[in-house]
Amino acid sequence: MSGDLAIGIHDLSVATAQYVLTHETLAARHGADVAKYHTGIGQRSMSIPAADEDIVTMAAAAAAPVIARHGAERIRTIAFATETSVDQAKAAGIHVHSLLGLPTTTRVVELKQACYSATAALQFAIGLVHRDPSQQILVIASDVSRYDLASRGEATQGAAAVAMLVGADPALVRIEEPSGVFTADIMDFWRPNYRTTALVDGYESISAYLQAVEVVWKDYTERGGRSLEEFRAFCYHQPFTKMAYKAHRHLLQHCGHDADDAGISRAVEHTTTYNQVIGNSYTASIYVALASLLDHAEDLTGEAIGFLSYGSGSVAEFFAGTVVPGYRSQLRTDMHREAISRRLDIDYDTYRELHQRPTPVDGGEHPLPRQTTGPYRLAGLSQHKRIYTPR
């Protein structure tokens, strides 16, 4: 196989949830200054799923336009990354495979490692395409971020899905070698099987993230990666958008560069536009950042983009991509903006009711109310089975 084979992201599609809770509403409920959210963490609102939405419905909504544009004939694998899985055994991607009517001659697998696993799925996909360049791989990242009510993490919640078609001769971004990688056993964020909301040590998580920035950059450069000056922009995992600014400042300082505010903004500002109104989407976050960058930045043709993917616990990876000529003709900017603008504003009591809605565990018949206006819905649970349907 030729080492010159270009492989990367051929298409990119983002979907989010039905409802939105603004941080003005959250601040008023908690008697807080809204600047705590707008300025402190860089967030303005958060997507909240309807009762009949989850990671599968968002994933299918993100993937359907990709299938509509390219067909499914060359897709041999679906790699679904999530940390809010709906089943301990069955991959959520199988439900998506069914909803979209994809061929039975497809492998489907689910990957997990906190917010990092979409990058693992992307690298897995690249390896499969290297082996057989005629194949295309559907990589999906979909998550619903949930923390306890009135907890420190509540204001960072969100929900979104990203679908990426990975193949040879990509139309958007060519993914490069090498990668810098890092793993350390750190309990900065976790969700035991018996909990529906995550646990997080915020200060430890920020510290672990910044430690990972140093190690993956060192590993990347030692393996022959690009110099810092070669990158036009950087996509970081964004548990909250101010973390992207914090991480990039840390990287610049670690490398002995000036960390002026204007330079940091040029590198990351366009990557935060969608995340600041969607909230944390865990595995999808870094690729929501990529969609935001491609949709909002001036011409990026031929420019190098740095990707720093972080997942608590913790695993991180740094790699580079180059934007492909003609990429703008493939963008879904209007669709992405419409997905955000169509969300319905809700009050805190409605949000709390959705947040505290229990998941039935008795195996009975539990139809769900029709709330979503998206293309797919979770119709209910029956005999411990989740029933998904087109809306």
Q: Containing domain of residue 182, as a range?
A: 7-390
Report if residue 2 sits inside a domain. no
Does the residue 322 lie in any domain?
yes
CB atoms within 10 A of CB 219: 18
pLDDT at 200: 87
Name the residue with tokens 């990367």: 8
Q: Where are the beta strands (DSSP E) in 191-296?
A: 199-200, 231-236
Looking at residue 2, what is its pLDDT?
39
**E strands in the chain:** 7-16, 19-22, 45-48, 75-81, 107-111, 136-145, 158-168, 173-175, 180-183, 189-190, 199-200, 231-236, 304-311, 315-323, 344-345, 365-367, 376-382, 385-390
> Which member of 10, 95, 97, 237 is catalytic?
237
329, part of any domain: yes
Dihedral sign for Cα atoms in the order 147, 121, 334, 70 = negative
Q: List, in order, residues 6 or more apart from 161 with CB less than 8 Å away.
A: 14, 15, 16, 55, 58, 59, 61, 62, 63, 140, 141, 142, 143, 281, 284
Give the model's pLDDT for residue 170: 98
Q: Is residue 1 part of a domain?
A: no
Q: Which of 53, 115, 248, 355 is catalytic?
A: 115
Which position among 10, 53, 83, 336 bears the catalytic label? 83
Is 25 domain-assigned? yes
Quote the pLDDT of residue 103: 95
Phi, psi of 179 (to 5 degrees): -120, 150
**Which CATH number does the domain housing residue 249 bear?**
3.40.47.10
Identify the pLDDT of residue 1: 32
With beta carbons less than 8 A apart as the criterion, state whether 40 and 300 touch: no
Q: For residue 39, what are its two tokens?
A: 């300025």
pTM, two decimals, is: 0.97
Active site residue 255: no
Tell me if residue 313 falls in helix, strand or coil. Answer: coil
Residues contacting residue 352 through CB under 8 Å, at least 6 positions apart: 149
Q: In this structure, what token pair is assigned to residue 61?
A: 């909504």
Tens digit of pLDDT for each residue in 204-234? 999 999 999 999 999 999 999 999 999 999 9
In a domain, 95, yes or no: yes
Q: Long-range CB contacts (< 8 A, 24+ apart) of 42-45?
A: 42/240, 42/241, 42/242, 42/245, 42/272, 42/276, 43/155, 43/156, 43/240, 43/241, 43/276, 43/279, 44/276, 44/277, 45/20, 45/21, 45/277, 45/278, 45/279
Residue 339 lies in a domain: yes
How many structural domains is the chain composed of?
1
Catalytic annotation present for 270:
no
Tens-level pLDDT at each residue, the chain (391 residues): 335 899 999 999 999 999 999 999 999 999 999 999 999 999 999 999 999 999 999 999 999 999 999 999 999 999 999 999 999 999 999 999 999 999 999 999 999 999 999 999 999 999 999 999 999 999 999 999 999 999 999 999 999 999 999 999 999 999 999 999 999 999 999 999 999 999 988 889 999 999 999 999 999 999 999 999 999 999 999 999 999 999 999 999 999 999 899 999 999 999 999 999 999 999 999 999 999 999 999 999 999 999 999 999 999 999 999 999 999 999 999 999 999 999 999 999 999 999 999 999 999 999 999 999 999 999 999 999 999 999 9
Q: 12: which residues sit within 8 A by CB, 6+ positions away?
A: 162, 163, 164, 165, 172, 287, 290, 291, 294, 332
Domain assignment present for residue 325? The answer is: yes
pLDDT of residue 181: 98
Is 254 known to be catalytic? no
User: Locate tokens 């001036």: which residue?
Assistant: 298
